[in-house]
Each structure stands twice: as structure tokens, then as C-alpha cells.
DNA sequence: CGCACCCCCTGCCGGC
DNA sequence: TGCCGGCAGGGGGTGC
């Protein structure tokens, strides 16, 4: 589920609620995430103070004691981070709970267990998520042209490659290409300068609109306070196969590209 | 290099 | 009603 806008919404909530709090205890109920949660995680974090929260692409980092420890968190497909009162009992799929010194707990919940929680070496991003963050300054038409030069790979799979551009997933890439008027299967290296610019502009527009609406909640994404996002009602194409295009008289099509469902309007995307 | 497949895991939905 | 296949916002690996 969570792509850049959803992760940004979670990061903002954590910045507001967790910075300045001390980790009192860490309860690990299920270690088997995408990679095993280290056995010594509680001991590594206990007593440390949260001094910052950052996000790059879909990866969250909780900075403890000014960087003495950095905890990397990834929500995978079905992960959420919720703030709960310490007294509330844990539920099924609540895998890790960080008890804080204000009688609340930050709870990592992830039915599919594709998420990740592990201490990260300071300043060293995980191997994936190294790409340009598309809401930061470096994501420009020139940068996109450089990344795609002479590549035949489709623009959709290029934009979803986290080592090139970090944070876009299947929903937002579909929406961005619809907004930019470009077909997902186009070879990225053959796009014009103007088209690269359209993609960069559309990316900013779509991501900021989604962040403002609190992200998209398709089935299980929730904010740290349990609320749903609202951007799913604004989709131009995602999961709208057979439905009318919102901007022309076309009908949205679905095809599979790189193993993922791909939606586009054949009339206004070229 | 790029893709077509696999895998990981649970939940939900539609068809029978 | 129940079972089964397909699909889902994530990433990683292999082989062609």
C-alpha cells in the first residue's frame, strides 16, 4: 500500500507525536518480517530519546539520541504505524510495539509481513530507496533525461525503480502518467524534453495533492491516529478499468506491465 | 540491460 | 455456505 504520500503522512504524524519522547520498552511479538527483526532491538532502543524522523522514498527513519541509533522502518504492502494508549491491548498482526514515556505506544501492524524494522548504519540508506526523492529539489527534467538516456525500459517501470526514483509505487505512477498524458509502456529514453517536464510537473502535482488529502486508503492504510486517507476518490485511472475517463470520452483500460496492473486512458495518454 | 517469472504473506472478492 | 483461484499499494532473486 503505502507509497510516498502515505509514508509522508505517517512521518508527519510521528514528528508531531514522537519527537522528544523516550522509548521505555520495545515488545517484539513477531520477528519474521521481510527480514528478521534483530533479537537485540529492545536493548538497542530502550532508554533512548527520539530526536528526529525522516523519510526518503518509502523508507522512514527514526533518529534516536541525535543519531546514536537510527531505526529504519518500511511499511511494505500492508504495514501501518499507529499511536495507541499504552493500556490498549495488542491485536492480531501487531508485531512490534514501542512503549513511550507518555503512556502511549507506537505499534507496527502488518498482516502480510512485507515490512521491515531494523537499525540502519548512520547516513547509509538501504540499498533500495537510493533514488531521487521526487518531492525534493533534485528531481528535475534534466535528471530524468540523464537517468533514462538510451534506455528502452518503459517509463512506468523506470519510475517505479526505487534505485532511480524513490517513493513511487503502482498507484501513483499510474496517476502521474495519466496526469502527464503519457502511455505507461513508452520507452523512457525516447520521451521528449517536454514529456520529461510534464512527468516532473505531474509528479509534484499528484504527490502534493495526495499528501494534502492524507494519502490513499484502498483497504488497510490508516494514519497514526487510525483515520483513512482520502485521495482514493480522486484517482484518474487506478483501478478504473472500463470506467469513463474523467477528462475525455475515453474508457480506461487495464493491461499488465512488469507484472503489475497498469491503467491508462487510450485517448488522452499518448 | 530489461523482462518474465518466481518467492515471501495474509486477506478479500467473485465464481462455482 | 464453503472452497478455490486470482489479485492486492512492497521488495528481492534467478535465468533468459
Q: How far apart are CA A35 and CA A157, in angstroms?
A: 25
| Model pLDDT, residue A1 | 63
Reply yes or no on whether A186 is catalytic.
no
pLDDT tier at A129 (50, 70, 90 boundaries)?
low
Q: Which nucleotide is nearest to A162 (CA to C1')?
A: C11
Residue numbers 159-218 of A with CB closer than 7 A to any atom of strand B: none
Taking the CA of residue A257 and the C1' sugar atom of nucleotide C15, their distance in angstroms comes to: 19
pLDDT tier at A224 (50, 70, 90 boundaries)?
confident
Reply yes or no on whether A150 is catalytic.
no
Q: Write out pLDDT tens, residues A5-49.
A: 999 999 999 999 999 999 999 999 999 999 999 999 999 999 999
| Model pLDDT, residue A217 | 84
| Model pLDDT, residue A231 | 93
Q: What is the mean pLDDT of chain A?
A: 94
From A8, A21, A55, A58, the catalytic residue: A58
| Beta-sheet strands, E only, within chain A | 23-28, 50-56, 59-64, 69-74, 80-85, 94-100, 104-109, 116-120, 253-257, 260-264
pLDDT tier at A223 (50, 70, 90 boundaries)?
confident
For strand C, the positions having any atom within 7 A of a protein Cβ are 7-12
Taking the CA of residue A85 and the C1' sugar atom of nucleotide C11, their distance in angstroms comes to: 32
3-state secondary structure of A83: strand
Answer for the pair A113, A43: CB distance below 8 angstroms, yes or no: no
Average pLDDT of the segment spanning A149-162:
95
| Model pLDDT, residue A198 | 97
Query: What pTM was estimated for this model as a whole?
Result: 0.96
Taking the CA of residue A259 and the C1' sugar atom of nucleotide B11, their distance in angstroms comes to: 20
| Model pLDDT, residue A174 | 96
Check if residue A6 sits with its Cβ under 7 angstroms from strand C: yes
Reply yes or no on whether A58 is catalytic.
yes
pLDDT higher at A123 or A180: A180
| Model pLDDT, residue A222 | 80
Q: Is the pLDDT reported for residue A107 higher than 70?
A: yes
Amino acid at each position: 500500500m503505502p507509497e510516498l504520500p502515505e509514508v509522508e503522512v505517517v512521518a508527519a504524524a510521528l514528528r508531531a507525536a514522537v519527537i522528544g519522547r523516550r522509548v521505555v520498552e520495545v515488545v517484539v511479538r513477531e520477528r519474521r518480517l521481510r527480514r528478521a527483526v534483530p533479537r537485540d532491538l529492545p536493548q538497542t532502543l530502550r532508554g533512548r530519546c527520539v530526536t528526529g524522523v525522516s523519510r526518503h522514498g518509502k523508507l522512514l527513519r527514526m533518529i534516536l539520541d541525535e543519531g546514536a541509533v537510527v531505526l529504519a522502518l518500511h511499511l511494505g504492502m500492508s504495514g501501518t504505524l499507529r499511536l495507541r494508549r499504552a493500556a490498549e491491548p495488542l491485536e492480531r498482526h501487531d508485531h512490534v510495539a514501542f512503549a513511550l514515556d507518555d503512556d502511549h505506544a507506537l505499534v507496527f501492524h502488518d498482516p502480510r509481513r512485507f515490512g521491515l524494522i531494523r537499525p540502519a548504519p548512520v547516513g547509509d540508506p538501504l540499498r533500495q530507496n537510493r533514488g531521487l526523492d521526487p518531492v525534493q529539489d533534485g528531481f528535475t527534467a534534466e535528471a530524468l533525461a540523464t537517468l533514462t538516456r538510451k534506455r528502452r525500459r518503459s517509463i512506468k517501470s523506470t519510475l517505479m525503480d526505487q534505485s532511480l526514483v524513490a517513493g513511487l509505487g503502482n498507484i501513483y505512477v499510474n496517476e502521474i502518467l495519466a496526469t502527464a498524458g503519457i502511455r505507461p509502456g513508452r520507452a523512457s529514453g525516447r520521451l521528449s524534453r517536454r514529456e520529461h517536464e510534464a512527468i516532473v510537473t505531474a509528479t509534484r502535482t499528484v504527490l502534493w495533492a495526495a499528501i494534502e488529502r492524507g494519502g490513499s486508503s484502498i483497504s488497510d492504510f490508516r494514519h497514526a491516529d487510525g483515520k483513512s486517507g482520502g485521495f482514493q476518490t480522486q484517482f484518474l485511472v487506478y483501478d478504473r478499468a472500463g470506467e469513463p475517463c474523467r477528462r475525455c470520452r475515453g474508457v480506461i483500460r487495464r493491461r499488465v506491465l512488469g507484472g503489475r496492473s497498469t491503467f491508462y486512458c487510450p485517448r488522452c495518454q499518448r
